[in-house]
Structure 1
Amino acid sequence: MIKLFLSLIFAFSASALFAQPDCMPQTKAFISGERIQYDVKYNWGLLWVDAGEVVFAVEDTVFNDRPSYWFKGYGRSKPKWDWVYTVRDTFDAIGTKGTLSPLYFNRKTSEGSYKVDNSYWYYPENNFIKGSVWNSDIEKTKSVGFRYDECVWDLLSAVYYARNLDYSQYRAGDKIPFNMVIDGKVNYLFIRFLGKEVMEMPSEKKYSTIKFSALLVDGTIFDGGEDMTVWVSDDENKIPLKVEAKIKVGWIKAYLVDTKGLKYNDIQPLAD
């Protein structure tokens, strides 16, 4: 579920039109102790059902003697739907303070009968990644190792990196590239900046947002095309407020429902 949620934010592509953004942004959009939660809704025929929840959190840690952030992500299906399809996803990522340079990543997924356990260790001194990749479709765990450019992220650390970008330098229609390690290889991704928009949440409150779309590549979840949209709070927090996408069977939406420990003031709706 978390991989699906994150894939809604960062979609797959083989090229990008613009130069890679600054790889070492100042960490200014969040602090240790932040926790944000989303409700995930699925379009089942004519109905929208509360399918699951996703939680992200940030903690301080020290990894290989480096002061770092520990990013955590957890997703699960709602208990009332576990009898239909049980989802338990856990993501962990560690990035250095200041630059967010990734040092470690682990994904444990249990979605029905499908299981995943992938880990990556980053060696920034040598621009090298060592990984351990397994899923229930293969018999044995695969060891991988490959070099990377200094601009490379995993699914979880990329979200926090993106929150620290300076979007004032982009115009509507610009593509912003992200190189990310997924399933044992580097993938070349981008999101398309669509400008700013006033967006209404289910509470009927309206918010000023930064809007993106993403080019989705045909796969097990998506049919391909720019069928995904993300709305991010247009404030110093830069937190995704709403995500929606067309999938192979219906649509999926995620809404921000709770925040704790934000670095800045709570996200404020527009006055009526």
Structure 2
Amino acid sequence: MRKYFLIIVVIIAFFNGSYAQELNSINEPVFKTGEQLTYTLKYGFFTAAEAVINVEESDKKFDGHPVFHIVADGRTAGTFDIFYKVRNRYESYVDQSTLMPYFYTENRHEANYKHTDNVTFNHENDKITAAKGVFPYKGKVFDFLSAYYFSRSIDVSKIQKGEKFELQYFLEDGVHTLGITYVGVEKVNCSMGSFNCLKFNPTIIPGRVFRKDSKLYLWITDDKNRIPVKAHVELVVGSVTMDLTGAKNLKYPLNPLKK
């Protein structure tokens, strides 16, 4: 169950849609150093977990290039913290110009389970080195955090309703592909207010956690920030909802709709 819990939290909190025709390049990053986003995840009416994502300054350079240091902390809350305590930290160093990852690390404490991994992306020979080996790849491959920030900076102004695309990411033992469908524009309410959003439907695999007909939806602000404000996924029993509860030091103003 611990691995499934991790996947649910990470997919909901850190994945955004990316436009397939634009994966070769990005526009100017839509975020800046100092940005902080805070989320809560609810199981039904109960707060199950909290996540905080920070973009920090870094003195490190990779291949001579300056990087953003992105840090995400996730933890269980309330009653869930008593019966299944989670303390997870994910870090990624991404190129300030291309937003491609150089180095990713995770430190997961989930109940009695502990896992650490250090992942190096070598863009010259297209190989990923991690705890479980060396993995060749083709095209653009991300960790969870770099995928989130890269995709936020892509121009999706010409995306069409029903369009499908894919995003490659590395997870523990190999390179995987996430399929995503653009659903359309929708007004969404969250703790920060009401926003016009772009709605996406990432593909999920049914099994012990997800039903055969389970759906995962993500709502991203239809503005220059491209911030996920809400997500909802159906489980075998119940559902989980992500809600944006805080946003600081944004590059562009976050303007909720007037009531």
Counterpart in the other structure of 1:63: 61
> Which SS does the other structure have where 1:216 is aligned?
coil
Aligned-pair distance for 1:233?
Answer: 0.9
Q: 1:254, CA displacement in angstroms?
A: 1.0
Residue from 239, 243, 249 that aligns with 1:251 = 239
Structure 1: runs of 5+ lacking an equivalent: 12-17, 133-141
Q: C-alpha distance in 1, partners of 2:172/2:211? A: 19
The change in CA–CA distance for 1:56 and 1:224 in structure 2 (over 3 A counts) is farther
Instruction: State the TM-score, normalized to the length of structure 1.
Output: 0.85
Give yes or no for contact 2:127–2:136 (8 Å, CA) kept in 1: yes
Shift of 1:72: 0.7
**Residues 195-234 of structure 1 correspond to what in structure 2 (within 5 A)?**
195-201=184-190, 205-225=193-213, 227-234=215-222
Aligned to 2:251: 263
Q: Distance in 2 between matches of 1:246 and 1:116?
A: 27
Do 1:74 and 1:90's aligned partners in 2 also have CA atoms closer than 8 Å? yes
Q: Residue type of the partner of 1:42?
A: Y
Unaligned runs of 5+ in 2: none
Q: How does 1:151-230 map to 2 (within 5 A)?
A: 151-201=140-190, 205-225=193-213, 227-230=215-218
Give 1:29 deviation, angstroms. Answer: 1.0
Contact 2:130-2:172 at 8 Å conserved across structures: no
Which deviates further from its counterpart, 221-230 or 92-101?
221-230
The 1:113–1:75 alpha-carbon spacing in structure 2 relative to 1, beyond 3 Å, is same
Deviates more, 1:105-114 or 1:75-84: 75-84
Query: In the alignment, is the contact (CA less than 8 A) between 2:40 and 2:50 conserved in 1?
Result: yes
Does structure 2 retain, via aligned residues, the 8 Å contact 1:175–1:191?
yes
Give % identity. Answer: 28
Residue equivalent to 2:95: 96
Q: Return the offset for 1:183.
A: 1.8
Deviates more, 1:171-180 or 1:79-88: 79-88
Q: Residues 205-258 of structure 1: CA distance to partner in whole angstroms, max 9, x if unpaired?
A: 421111111110134543355610111111111100001101233110110011
Q: Is the 8 A contact 2:191 2:245 kept in 1?
A: no
Question: Per the alignment, in what secondary structure is the counterpart of residue 146 of structure 2?
Answer: helix
Amino acid at match of 1:71: I
- Tell me the equivalent position of 1:135: none
Deviations 1:160-213 (A, max 9, x none): 11101111121111112101111221111121111111112257x421111111
Kept in 2: contact 1:233–1:241 (CA 8 A): yes
After superposition, the Cα gap between the structure-2 partners of 1:2 and 1:58, relative to the gap in structure 1 and judged at 3 Å, is farther
CA distance in 2, matches of 1:271, 1:19: 33
Q: Which amino acid aligns with 1:120?
A: V
Does 1:85 find its partner at 2:84? yes
Tell me the amino acid that sits aligned with residue 207 of structure 1.
F
In structure 2, the CA distance between the partners of 1:106 and 1:186, relative to structure 1 (3 Å rule), is: same
Kindly report structure 1 stretches of 4+ aligned residues shifted beyond 6 Å: none
TM-score, structure 2 normalization: 0.89
The alpha-carbon distance between structure 1 residues 114 and 131, as it changes in their structure 2 partners (threshold 3 A), is same
Q: Does the Cα contact within 8 Å between 1:20 and 1:177 map onto a contact in 2?
A: no
